[in-house]
A and B are shown apart, each in its own frame.
Chain A
Amino acid sequence: MNPILQTEDLAMTYHVGKVDVPALRGVNLAVAPGEFVAVMGPSGCGKSTLLHILGGLLKPTSGRVVVDGEDLAAVSDAARTDIRRRKIGFVFQRFNLFPTLTAEGNLRLAEHIHGNGKRQENDETRREILKLLRLENKMRHKPLELSGGEQQRVAIARAVINHPAILLADEPTGNLDSENSAIVLRMLAQLNRELGQTIVMITHNPEAAAVTKRTIEMRDGMILKG
């Protein structure tokens, strides 16, 4: 099966003043459709940079990043944004919900952006996702009225509501207690299993990595294992 996500000799160097700081040094990675992959490694190993490049938020210095057949490294900033809109969902450590909008409003905004400014709502999908994430009764609440676990579940719902090719999760349990972490991880696994959602998750937490099917270990901007 062709990988849904593939990188070839991916390199990224930051320029800090006159100093070049290499963050990624030739990362080769392939993720098959429906895989749930964890990326682990110490701070500064390049995990976040890798995730940002996989999501099209950063342009690599060199190499290729192919998401569902489209090379993110070879296109303009606007085209990368467009690919992100159509094919990528993000979940962040800090939830990053719009605080002024209800959970429902956050989901509708994601659908609106996905539809490129047009209404694009699929009630059946929405019901399925909300049921899976146990959020049916939380839709009228604003983020500050929800617990951390609930906020992260809303963020996951927002990330998958438009059926992205890949879901990129950046330390999704980093701000949660162990109970809520377990719930969120269980739900990510369930999304992967029941909806076939491809997930790449960055984590420091070995327990989080344990729920995935594959763990990639990174160090000094390179993949050591996986």
Chain B
Amino acid sequence: MDSLIISNICQRPTRTLVSVAGVALGVVLVVINTGLVRGMLNERMMREQNIGAEIMFSRKGAGSPLSPSSVLSLDVRYVDRLAKILGVKAVSPVGRYVQTGSSGIGIEQVDGIDFQSYTAISGLRIVEGRVFQADDEVIIDEKKAHDSKAGIGSEIQVFGKRLKVVGIYAPVSGSRIKISLESLQRLLSSPNKCQFIYVKCNDPENQVEVLKRINTQLPGNIVVLTRDLVLGFGNSIPGLDGFVKAVLALSTVVSTLVILLAMYTTITERTREIGILKALGASKRYIVGVIEKEALAISLIGVAVGLLIAWVAGWGIERATSLQLEYHWTWVVVATLIGLAAGVIGALYPALRAANQDPVKALAYE
């Protein structure tokens, strides 16, 4: 039977290719999209964690530091009030501006920071050049410098303007592009405002107590532990879960339909051969097995091709854009199962149809 399956697969290379492409497309959709989501989230979380603050303070409606909002709604006077709370070591106000990625794909965030207080929390240091001193000056992290091939003196696009890179900093933390908070306030016409305030505790072990004190002394604000931001980050992006589910559903439907159509065409083409199988005494189960195994073999090839394409595409996307991909074996397994399930489910109707054919009519089929 195996040689029949292999020979059938080889007999119609175009049909096999189209079927393989259909399954591969589903696999690529799942792996790339989940890889992108995971990569972007983890990379952003890593950068947020690198800031070194245990608590983030913001106003309702300002969004989380990871969400795409450019509204500066928090009065910077909260900085002084937070600094006076017991257990607080340092505070730093941050404004954030969200723009389209420099490659035209995805988004890019620009942090407006108070350099002194931010470095006190994060340990950020200038490794090349100097800190910004004017509204048209920015500092960027080493990865941004590497990816954009930007050095001291080069210009990058922020707020639709060409701003000059005057310094490169390390380690990566928060957004990759930073300007002074005052500059951002002027550019967004929001004087004395910021988006959120990072709070560093004297003793990280006491962060929960400090958070409670902040909530008590400054009620009505959003006060969260940055470690919880990491845990709840996926939920903070509206529609993310729905998007992933939609991708899974779309992949399953596309792959299943492609296999269904391909196998349906196949059994119509091979009606007489199915008649021969029946004449030889092949049971319905045997015939279903032949067709299902063929679909499964095509799906396996499709899964392998899809994973290969996803890997190559991921490599290309990371090189060509600022997007980050992070593949996880769980999603590779999910994509593989979707591809194989699509093969089995898609081939089921054609297989049952073939198995139920009248042998005499099938043998007379021209």
Q: Report A's interface with B, CB cutoff 8 A.
A: 52, 55, 57-58, 78, 81-82, 84-86, 88, 90, 92, 96-98, 100-101, 105, 108-110, 112-114, 116-117, 158
Contacts and interface: CB of A to CB of B under 8 A. Distances in A.
Contacts of A86: 281
B320 interface: no
B360 A98 contact: no
Q: Which 4 A-B pairs have the closest CB atoms?
A: A85-B281, A100-B7, A84-B281, A57-B359
A141 B39 CA distance: 54
B283 A81 contact: yes
B362 to A, nearest CB: 10
Contact of B279 (A96, A100, A116, A117): A96
Given A78-B283, A85-B280, A101-B4, 5 more contacts: A81-B278, A86-B281, A100-B11, A101-B7, A117-B289
A88 B281 contact: yes
B62 interface: no
B279 A57 contact: yes
A181 to B, nearest CB: 21
A88 B282 CA distance: 12
Contact of B281 (A58, A101, A113): A113
Contacts of A110: 280
B286 A100 contact: no
A97 B363 CA distance: 11
Interface in B1-60: 1, 3-4, 7-8, 10-11
Contacts of B276: 96-98
Contact of B1 (A52, A57, A82, A112): A112
Interface in B269-301: 272-273, 275-284, 286, 289
Contacts of A158: 280
Interface centre among A82, A88, A98, A158 (most CB of B within 10 A): A98
Contacts of A114: 280-281
5 contacts: A57-B278, A85-B281, A98-B276, A101-B7, A105-B3
Contacts of B286: 113, 116-117
Contact of A52 (B3, B8, B360): B360
Nearest to B282: A113
Given A57-B359, A96-B363, A100-B10, A84 B279 contact: yes
A55 B279 contact: yes
A57 B279 CA distance: 7
B266 to A, nearest CB: 12
A213 to B, nearest CB: 25
Nearest to A102: B3
B7 A109 contact: no
B284 to A, nearest CB: 7
Nearest to B356: A77
B1 A109 contact: yes
A52 B364 CA distance: 12
Contacts of B279: 55, 57, 84, 90, 92, 96
A165 to B, nearest CB: 12
Interface in B298-357: none
Contact of A85 (B273, B275, B283): B283
B8 A100 contact: yes
A112 B360 CA distance: 22
B273 to A, nearest CB: 6
Contacts of B284: 78, 81
Contacts of A109: 1, 3-4, 280
Contacts of A98: 4, 7, 273, 276
B330 to A, nearest CB: 35
Nearest to B7: A100
Nearest to B289: A117
A57 B11 CA distance: 28
Contacts of B3: 101, 105, 108-109
Given A88-B281, A90-B279, A92-B363, A105 B1 contact: no
Nearest to B280: A113
Interface centre among A58, A82, A97, A112 (most CB of B within 10 A): A112
